């Protein structure tokens, strides 16, 4: 054991309070300004001051209030380990155990970080039921290693610095995303809707701007490592090995800056442009197409595909079809309005820059989180000691 560190149980450093839910049939209990926290409210920030549902004072009196600074820890199902620290007086439902630390023994932030580091171990203690549960007594018995209070506070202060940097970066990311959404609305959606409304003849079928790609890997030129799928959040990504067929000869060849989508999933956003530098393979079930050179800029169309208007447009086109499959002929019949090619490129360059700024912030957040994780491994185990 690290010199100066002692072994404690969670129950010996504070009180564990399992939340409860006031009667949903009593309308006087809900709709006030007191947070009523559930697992869905955790994991977005360290400090919890807002929740989807709220309580009145009467509702709080019927619940189990916990003070500011309390550690909130989810102990049921797939959400085991989601946690936060109460930023104000609040209550939780029964899926959350609250830990009210004794300030003479344990720093609440230090314990919060210890629990975050040991979530895997705690999850392994869950009862063998249809829905895993870490009950109150199990959590109370879980062991922690704690140094003297001064060292706890110093370690927690260091880790809080990283959390503050991560939260600031996430705030900037949110602002950048709002700017991007505003730009797409002003530069893409508004002109498209205006063009369709004011001059229906200006709206032309997508077939005038794109060509379907049907070339296949008949000579088996490309191997399994080049088989790609489409994610509605990450774009073109390597396909899972277990979903790839043995015979790759029917797989379609997707060139750079061309588009692919699953005809069964396009209406949930699963359409993406390949930003890879060379040809890859896509499932034979996918629809592939390319923008006509000098007519439709691929970047412009890629941004258009990320708008809510496009999702609505696609959904409407699939209405009436039993399984809502949207093949190339269906897509090609969609009518859109686009500006001249050079204007498309200028708009796309502006949106590319806005998107790039979001990606840089995302990379910064990932780096900060990795650094924080490394610090937690060293500082919370006593491998690295802090100077007091």
Q: Residue 131: pLDDT band by 50, 70, 90 thresholds?
A: confident
pLDDT at 321: 46
pLDDT tens across 249-272, in order? 999 999 999 999 988 877 556 899
CA distance 367 to 380: 20
CATH class of the domain comprising 6-146: alpha beta
Evaluate whether 80 touches 104 at the Cβ level (below 8 Å): no
CA distance 265 to 261: 7
pLDDT surpasses 60 at 319: no
- The residues, any chain, with a CB within 8 Å of residue 44's CB and separated by 6 or more, are none
| Pairing relationship of beta strands 271-273 and 143-146 according to DSSP bridges | unpaired
pLDDT at 312: 80
In angstroms, how far is the first alpha carbon of the chain from the final one? 20
Is residue 182 packed enough to be buried (19+ CB in 10 Å), middle (13-18) or exposed (0-12)?
exposed
pLDDT at 318: 52
Report, as an integer, the average pLDDT of 268-278: 87
pLDDT surpasses 70 at 128: no
Evaluate whether 226 touches 256 at the Cβ level (below 8 Å): no
Domain ranges of the chain: 6-146, 204-336
pLDDT surpasses 60 at 225: yes
Instruction: Please state which CATH number belongs to domain 204-336.
Output: 3.90.220.20
pLDDT surpasses 90 at 314: no
Evaluate whether 90 touches 33 at the Cβ level (below 8 Å): no
pLDDT tens across 150-207, in order? 999 999 999 999 999 999 999 999 999 999 999 999 999 888 777 777 766 778 999 9
Between residues 322 and 113, which one has the greater pLDDT?
113
pLDDT tens across 91-119, in order? 999 999 999 999 999 999 999 999 999 99
pLDDT at 127: 73
Evaluate whether 41 touches 52 at the Cβ level (below 8 Å): yes
Q: Comparing 6-146 with 204-336, is the CATH topology the same?
A: yes
pLDDT surpasses 80 at 2: no
Give the 3-state secondary structure of residue 337: coil
Dihedral angle over CA of 109, 115, 118, 122, nearest 10? 180
Q: Dihedral sign for Cα 97, 101, 105, 110, please.
A: positive
pTM for the whole thing?
0.83
């Amino acid at each position: 054991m690290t010199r100066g560190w002692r072994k404690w149980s969670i129950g010996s450093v504070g009180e564990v309070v399992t939340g409860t839910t006031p009667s949903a049939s009593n309308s006087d209990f809900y709709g006030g300004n007191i947070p009523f926290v559930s697992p869905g409210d955790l994991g977005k920030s360290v400090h919890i001051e807002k929740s989807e549902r709220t309580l009145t004072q009467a509702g709080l009196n019927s619940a189990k209030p916990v003070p500011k600074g309390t550690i909130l820890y989810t102990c049921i199902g797939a959400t085991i380990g989601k946690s936060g620290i109460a930023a104000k007086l609040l209550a939780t439902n029964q899926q959350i155990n609250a830990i009210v630390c004794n300030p003479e023994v344990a720093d609440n932030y230090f314990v919060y970080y210890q629990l975050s580091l040991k979530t895997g171990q705690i999850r392994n203690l869950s009862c063998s039921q249809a829905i895993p549960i870490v009950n109150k007594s199990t959590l109370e018995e879980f062991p922690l290693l704690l140094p003297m209070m001064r060292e706890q506070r110093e370690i927690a202060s260091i880790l809080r610095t990283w959390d503050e940097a991560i939260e600031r970066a996430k705030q900037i990311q949110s602002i950048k995303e709002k700017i991007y959404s505003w730009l797409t609305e002003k530069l893409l959606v508004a002109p498209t809707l205006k063009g369709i409304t004011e001059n229906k003849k200006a709206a032309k079928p997508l077939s005038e701007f794109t060509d379907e790609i049907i070339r296949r890997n008949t000579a088996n030129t490309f191997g399994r490592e080049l088989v790609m799928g489409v994610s509605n959040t990450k774009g073109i990504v390597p396909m899972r090995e277990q979903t790839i067929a043995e015979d790759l000869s029917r797989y379609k060849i997707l060139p750079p800056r061309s588009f692919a989508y699953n005809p069964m999933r396009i209406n949930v956003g699963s359409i993406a442009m390949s930003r890879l530098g060379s040809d890859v393979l896509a499932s034979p079930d996918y629809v592939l197409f390319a923008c006509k050179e000098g007519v439709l800029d691929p970047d412009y169309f890629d941004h258009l595909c990320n708008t809510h208007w496009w999702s609505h447009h696609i959904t409407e086109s699939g209405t009436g079809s039993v399984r809502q499959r949207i093949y190339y002929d269906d897509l090609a019949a969609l009518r859109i309005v686009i500006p001249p090619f050079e204007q498309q490129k200028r708009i796309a360059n502006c949106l590319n820059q806005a998107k790039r700024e979001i990606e840089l912030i995302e990379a910064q957040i990932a780096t900060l989180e990795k650094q924080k994780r490394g610090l937690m491994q060293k500082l919370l185990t006593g491998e690295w000691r802090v100077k007091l």
